[in-house]
Structure 1
Amino acid sequence: MRLYIKARLIEGYIPVHYNYYLQSFFYKSFPGKVRKDIHDSGVRLGPRKFKMFTFSRVYGDFERRGDRLYYKDYVYFAFSSALSKLVKYVYERVNAEPQFNIGKAKLEVDKMAMREFDKELAKRGSFYTLSPVVVTKKTGDTSNYYFPHQLEYTYLLQMNAKRKVLALTGKALKTDIEVRFDNWKRAVVRYKGTRVEGARGKLKVRGPLTALKVVYEAGLGVKNSQGFGMLEYEGVSIRGVLGE
């Protein structure tokens, strides 16, 4: 399930590297016990923990001044989860408390829309990124970032998707997803001061519907709950869903 939000800027600014602030906003929308369970454990698969949610970048017209983004009027963003209850919690919180903060910006919700996974659009296999796709592999104490031009990239995405599906459903995928970027650019974001690198652009993702649903709702790649790996169907936009 996915929630799209349009909010009016009342005052202030959003920091350039705002992922942590937006993530905190979503976590605060969850009831206390749910928040702790998702943050501490998520959905487990052996030693791995999957939060099973992701979110987009913040879109809208803005002016950048140093490390601050001054949005002119409205901002648009989306929250998605393979655990539908999390989407409902965010909707209920924002509906009950329409004014909220992201960093130093005070905002008021103007419009929201929820959508379910669309099988027919997913079958087409054409997507673009709403937030960068991050792929890493740990060697000793070092995590290396991988990009679409590297041989291991698709394999690492496939393994990550398989683990998410197994953790959620208890069933192993028999067929891998196939991921191919048509064009991409490197994106660099700082999360709590740490440099995170990913790829953004248009891509083809094909495979079993079970896997497509999981990567669409929970995110492709890693660090999804930090605001990475959110995909959208080609031809669909946040503003469009909201009737803009």
Structure 2
Amino acid sequence: MEIRLRILSDAMLRLEGGHKESNCAATKIPIRKMFERLAVLAAVPPDAGGDALLTTPAGGGLRLAEVQPLRVRLVLEGPAGVLHVPVHYNEVIQGLIYRYLDPDLAGHIHDGGYPEGPRRFKLFTFSRLLGRWERAGDRLRFRGPVSLVVASPVPGFVASLVSRFLSVGTLQVADQPTRLLAVETEAVPQPSGPVRVKLLSPLTVYTTLQTNQGRYTYYFSPFEEGFAAQVLRNLERKLHALTGNSQPLGGAFRPVRVSDRNLHIVRYKGTVIKGWTGIYELDVPPEAFRLAYLAGLGSKNSQGFGCIALWERSGPGD
């Protein structure tokens, strides 16, 4: 079996010319031509690990000396082209990530994370499962390829996942043998000024209130005052936890195309969480945008919330 590895950006790779014994002929190519051949689909043996040979349609070869992707799109397919998952599957995907992550790194992130005051951030996020689906009782049935975006600014996090995924080829998702069809690395955009983003998984921000009946979790709506401030303050705390930068973030965040249909009610380990998808405008410094793109916006990112992507207009009316 072969797995397709699509390299979408040279910014996260260090490559060296060379060759390696393989079923495909490999030849040395000049350094200046390396970057011309990155955006190709390459056949990678499942046991190649981090020292894989990338082969191009022209028959040339590159040794992949080091891969440090920060964000990837995994393309999966269930048995006979059908993948069944619970309606509330966030815990399933989170478990998949921790199971295949390097054990030491997984322990560090799960048990400690990155502290900021009393809070500890895991600093990774993932999207919903993206594909054609239908509901069947308390489960969802995905037909054909299914995509999952995983991102983290933590050094080695995504690279560890990619290496392990490529080594096994077939993953266990909700107790089903699931083929890994492709791994696509995604470059981190570098916008200047306001940019519109879409939520690939619901965005949630909340506060905990003390009432006569006890503690109560209040989830903010994008239509309320305080929603944007909560999102930006959360991003500021993550930046402080990761870099030590304690300067006020500033910036702006507002809904652009959001309606009641974008409200999602998610159950995670017995807890009800409210989150919102839709299109929003985000205006923050480049360092903060990079962190939002890799760690997510809002709270509970490691539980499958707040994963964003740039929004592209699809027509004149958009």
TM over 0.5: yes
Flag as ranges the 4+ runs of structure 1 deviating above 6 A: none
**What is the CA–CA distance in structure 1 between the aligned matches of 2:144 and 2:176, rounded to whole Å?**
12
**What is the CA–CA distance in structure 2 between the aligned matches of 1:24 and 1:112, rounded to whole Å?**
19
2:139 to 41, 56, 68: 68
How many angstroms does 1:59 deviate by?
Answer: 1.1
2:239 to 130, 155, 165: 165
Q: Which amino acid aligns with 1:150?
A: E
Q: Which amino acid aligns with 1:9?
A: G
Partner residue, 2:202: 132
**What is the CA–CA distance in structure 1 between the aligned matches of 2:247 and 2:75, rounded to whole Å?**
36
The alignment partner of 1:5 has SS state of strand
1:114-147 CA distance string (max 9 Å, x none): 1231103x64511100000001111232221001
2:305 paired with 1:200:
no
2:294 paired with 1:217:
yes
2:257 paired with 1:183:
yes
Assess, with a 3 A threshold, how the Cα gap between structure 1 residues 233 and 216 changes in structure 2: closer, same or farther. same
Partner residue, 1:35: 106
**What is the CA–CA distance in structure 2 between the aligned matches of 1:159 and 1:40, rounded to whole Å?**
24
2:216 to 113, 117, 142: 142
Q: Which amino acid aligns with 2:197?
A: F
How many angstroms does 1:177 deviate by?
Answer: 2.8
**What is the CA–CA distance in structure 2 between the aligned matches of 1:171 and 1:126, rounded to whole Å?**
25
Contact 1:176 1:207 in 2 (8 A): yes
Q: Which amino acid aligns with 1:73?
A: G
1:3 to 48, 72, 75: 72
The alignment partner of 1:195 has SS state of strand
2:91 to 6, 12, 20: 20
**What is the CA–CA distance in structure 1 between the aligned matches of 2:255 and 2:151, rounded to whole Å?**
22
1:160-182 CA distance string (max 9 Å, x none): 11100111111123441311111
**What is the CA–CA distance in structure 2 between the aligned matches of 1:153 and 1:162, rounded to whole Å?**
14
RMSD: 1.6
**What is the CA–CA distance in structure 1 between the aligned matches of 2:194 and 2:158, rounded to whole Å?**
25
The alignment partner of 1:82 has SS state of coil
The alignment partner of 2:242 has SS state of helix
**What is the CA–CA distance in structure 2 between the aligned matches of 1:160 and 1:152, rounded to whole Å?**
12
**What is the CA–CA distance in structure 2 between the aligned matches of 1:174 and 1:64, rounded to whole Å?**
44
1:81 to 126, 129, 152: 152
Identity %: 29
Normalised by the length of structure 1, the TM-score is 0.91
Q: Which amino acid aligns with 2:303?
A: Q
Over alpha carbons, which structure has the higher Rg? 2
Q: Which moved further from structure 2: 145-154 or 220-229?
A: 145-154
Q: Which amino acid aligns with 1:127?
A: V
The alignment partner of 1:143 has SS state of strand
**What is the CA–CA distance in structure 2 between the aligned matches of 1:33 and 1:91, rounded to whole Å?**
16
Unaligned runs of 5+ in 1: 237-244
1:182-211 CA distance string (max 9 Å, x none): 122211111122111011100100011111
Q: Which moved further from structure 2: 195-204 or 173-182?
A: 173-182
The alignment partner of 2:150 has SS state of strand
Contact 1:14 1:105 in 2 (8 A): no
Assess, with a 3 A threshold, how the Cα gap between structure 1 residues 28 and 123 changes in structure 2: closer, same or farther. farther
The alignment partner of 1:92 has SS state of helix
**What is the CA–CA distance in structure 1 between the aligned matches of 2:201 and 2:151, rounded to whole Å?**
12
Higher relative contact order (CA 8 A, sep 6+): 1
How many angstroms does 1:101 deviate by?
Answer: 2.0
Contact 1:13 1:104 in 2 (8 A): no
